[in-house]
Homo-oligomer: A and B are copies of this chain.
């Protein structure tokens, strides 16, 4: 029982950390809507946001959110050691740890989320594109952009499981 309360608290914190980095649940919901509209024309933004929150209620997801955002923050504050600091700051293409951490989020609703994750990460629509530009303005979102793509992909998988054709 007390554990369930703690879960709610962890979810509240994960959401708060995401918001503190300038991303709203609504914006993640918009990514889900963009991905799912073709399959379910009657889908609403509320439904998409609800699915995002369901993903965020998973402990595995909360942990990846906290870890990824904390690394971004530490990089901004210059607290990572070199040469890791530069790799994270530059969001180097060969880094790979941001993608692998996100895989832990995507898999929560099965491997069907891999496709949507990759698509978002490559095309960078909406909030993902904005985060990528921010990387230039002394903000570091090396982990956050992949995390947002992963949450949206997992929320889409969840919807697909819930509303199979």
Contact = CB atoms under 8 A, between A and B. Distances in A.
A93 B118 contact: no
Q: For chain A, give the interface size range.
A: 35 or more
Contacts of A110: 58-60, 94, 96, 104, 108
A100 B108 CA distance: 12
Contacts of A70: 80-81, 84
Contacts of A118: 114-122
B104 A111 contact: yes
11 contacts: A59-B96, A60-B96, A63-B84, A63-B94, A63-B95, A99-B111, A99-B112, A103-B111, A107-B108, A118-B122, A119-B122
